[in-house]
């Protein structure tokens, strides 16, 4: 019996087309999912779309269509991204799906039954961009530092609240007990400091008369649930809570909970709010939270459509289409190899082109051609498949979720083989000592197969193409990564 492993992305809020930051998150989750499968795990991989809230309601009104029609359009775009990037997710949950709505309402009932929900009047400063309340200390010159183009709203109304303040000590105890609960360490330290300053209960409903686009609060038609108390529940709804408890037992309890990827603007929601919510309804915590940095434009600001510095993954793929056997693998490579595993990373077209040329076209693409040309000409022995194992340096990188280090290991092996070809000159040796030359070439082919195996989680189609050439003992019909003009 293979062990269950559950991984999820955050659900992107569907008010904009997918940008490279979310492509990075979902590709990284996919790399981990593929790695775990190769390590013998049975994997549940969840992604989807977050579809309620004021921002979407306003956008739909502006567009003159119903909120449902508005989010349907975006959900399609995100599904398209999942297939275009060759993401191996087996679950795509939308927070407007009936089973999610049911789960969110049941979650509310249980938190309420445990005394963690109450009603009060309140006034708050709110960033619609983040869908979060902001304290004065979080604002810079009265503006949200992540959304400097939006005005902070002052809100006053009667809302339901979640007793977040009750869970500060318990959250600190969780972090104490599991020191790698949040990766990297710096983000865990941020959370400890945040909680140590004291948690304030947060608002979890809105008046339906002002903002009807949400899940009705159980037993109170005047209110709808507000974003986080709705959206975060998707992580357990996706694996069957509460409608299929056998599935939930396997994918949440037996697997040790979800490994959750998120961006650094989501650290609080994933590592604290969500964990407190789970404690409230007596469900064990997530397995781990892995926090990505932002992808920044040339100006160092977070990439966003409103700032006009967005790099669209679909555009990158379109640009490379005629040069690459699988153009989405250029995006998969850039977000794992070129970007920092945890810190902010700048993206530029020049950077993508430079990396493509040095690592893919002149790196793995050229190496495959060189070795398979020699092999097709001189190798006579068939290729013997053996059970592959990952190198320990590569495995250790995965254990720390440092994907950049893992793929860099692969690219170092590519360089090593290139150097070996230069130094041993099998193309010359084979002409003077056929046996010795063939042995050198055969060894190169086996080492290329090892590289292909290590590349599989990152570049599954490239890996498969290389293995196809090795098994058939032929060169690729076309270079895997053509040189750019």
Q: How far is the CB of 130 from Zn ion (least distance, A)?
A: 3
Q: How far is the CB of 81 from Zn ion (least distance, A)?
A: 23
Q: How far from 12 is each of 60, 159, 215, 270, CA to CA, in Å?
A: 17, 25, 18, 13
383: DSSP letter = P
In angstroms, what is the C-alpha Rg of the chain?
25
Q: In angstroms, rounded to a whole number, what is the distance separating the alpha carbons of residues 282 and 60?
A: 37
Our CB check for Zn ion shows the closer of 143 and 395 to be 143
CA dihedral (436, 441, 443, 449) in degrees, to 10, reads -170
Q: In angstroms, rounded to a whole number, what is the distance separating the alpha carbons of residues 328 and 337?
A: 14
Q: How far is the CB of 147 from Zn ion (least distance, A)?
A: 4
Our CB check for Zn ion shows the closer of 36 and 147 to be 147
Our CB check for Zn ion shows the closer of 133 and 447 to be 133
Please state whether beta strands 288-292 and 182-183 pair in parallel, antiparallel, or not at all (unpaired).
Answer: parallel
Q: In angstroms, rounded to a whole number, what is the distance separating the alpha carbons of residues 315 and 288?
A: 33
Our CB check for Zn ion shows the closer of 133 and 396 to be 133
Our CB check for Zn ion shows the closer of 150 and 325 to be 150
Q: In angstroms, rounded to a whole number, what is the distance separating the alpha carbons of residues 7 and 36?
A: 10
**Residue given tokens 């961006």 in the structure block:** 263
Q: Which residues pair with 468 in a beta bridge?
A: none
Our CB check for Zn ion shows the closer of 28 and 55 to be 55
Our CB check for Zn ion shows the closer of 82 and 144 to be 144
Our CB check for Zn ion shows the closer of 134 and 465 to be 134
Q: How far is the CB of 224 from Zn ion (least distance, A)?
A: 21
Q: How far is the CB of 138 from Zn ion (least distance, A)?
A: 9
Tokens of 46: 């969840």
Q: In angstroms, rounded to a whole number, what is the distance separating the alpha carbons of residues 408 and 358?
A: 13
Our CB check for Zn ion shows the closer of 31 and 127 to be 127
Q: In angstroms, rounded to a whole number, what is the distance separating the alpha carbons of residues 187 and 181?
A: 10
**Using CB under 5 A as the criterion, which residues of the chain lie in contact with Zn ion when the complex forms?**
127, 129-130, 144, 146-147
294 and 21 Cβ atoms separated by less than 8 Å: yes
Tokens of 147: 């959304």
Q: How far is the CB of 148 from Zn ion (least distance, A)?
A: 9
Neighbours of 70 (CB within 10 A): 22
CA atoms within 13 A on the CB side of 270: 28
213 and 53 Cβ atoms separated by less than 8 Å: yes
Q: How far is the CB of 128 from Zn ion (least distance, A)?
A: 8
Q: How far is the CB of 342 from Zn ion (least distance, A)?
A: 21
Q: How far is the CB of 144 from Zn ion (least distance, A)?
A: 3
């Amino acid at each position: 019996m293979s062990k269950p492993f559950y991984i999820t992305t955050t659900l992107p809020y569907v008010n904009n087309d997918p940008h490279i930051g979310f492509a990075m998150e979902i590709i990284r989750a996919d790399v981990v999912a593929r790695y775990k499968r190769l390590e013998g795990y049975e994997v549940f991989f969840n992604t989807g779309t977050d579809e309620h809230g004021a921002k979407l309601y306003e956008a739909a009104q502006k567009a003159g269509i119903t909120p449902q029609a508005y989010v349907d359009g975006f959900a399609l775009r995100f599904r398209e991204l999942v297939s275009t990037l060759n993401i191996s997710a087996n679950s795509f949950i939308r927070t407007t799906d009936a089973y999610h709505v049911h789960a969110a309402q049941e979650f509310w009932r249980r938190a309420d039954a445990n005394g963690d929900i109450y009603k009060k009047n309140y006034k708050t400063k709110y960033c619609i961009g983040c869908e979060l309340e902001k304290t004065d200390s979080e604002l810079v010159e009265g503006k949200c530092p992540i959304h400097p183009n939006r005005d902070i709203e002052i809100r006053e109304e009667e809302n339901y609240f979640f007793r977040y303040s009750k869970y500060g000590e318990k959250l600190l105890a969780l972090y104490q007990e599991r020191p790698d609960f949040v990766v990297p360490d710096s983000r865990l330290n941020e959370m400890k400091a945040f909680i140590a300053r004291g948690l304030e209960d947060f608002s979890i409903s809105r008046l339906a008369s002002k903002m009807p686009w949400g899940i009705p609060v159980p037993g109170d038609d005047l209110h709808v649930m507000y974003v986080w108390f709705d959206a975060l529940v998707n992580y357990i709804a996706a694996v069957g809570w509460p409608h299929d408890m056998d599935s939930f037992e396997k994918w949440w309890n037996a697997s040790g909970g979800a490994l959750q990827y998120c961006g650094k603007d989501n650290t609080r929601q994933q590592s604290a709010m969500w964990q407190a919510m789970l404690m409230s309804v007596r469900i064990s915590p997530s397995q781990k939270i892995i926090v990505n940095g932002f992808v920044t434009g040339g100006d160092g600001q977070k990439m966003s459509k409103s700032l006009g510095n967005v790099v669209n993954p679909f555009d990158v793929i379109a640009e490379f289409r005629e040069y690459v056997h699988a153009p989405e693998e250029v995006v998969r490579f850039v977000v794992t190899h070129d970007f920092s595993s945890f810190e902010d990373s700048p993206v530029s077209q020049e950077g993508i082109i430079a990396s493509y040329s040095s690592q893919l076209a002149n790196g793995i693409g050229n190496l495959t051609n060189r070795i398979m040309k020699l092999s097709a000409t001189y190798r006579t022995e068939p290729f013997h498949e053996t059970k592959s194992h990952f190198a320990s340096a590569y495995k250790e990188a995965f254990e720390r979720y440092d994907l950049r280090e893992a793929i860099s290991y692969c690219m170092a092996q590519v360089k090593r083989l290139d150097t070996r070809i230069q130094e041993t000159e099998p193309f010359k040796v084979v002409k003077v000592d056929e046996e010795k030359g063939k042995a050198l070439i055969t060894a190169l082919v086996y080492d290329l197969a090892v590289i292909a195996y290590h590349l599989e989680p990152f570049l599954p189609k490239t890996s498969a193409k290389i293995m196809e050439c090795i098994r058939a003992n032929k060169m690729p019909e076309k270079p895997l990564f053509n040189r750019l003009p």
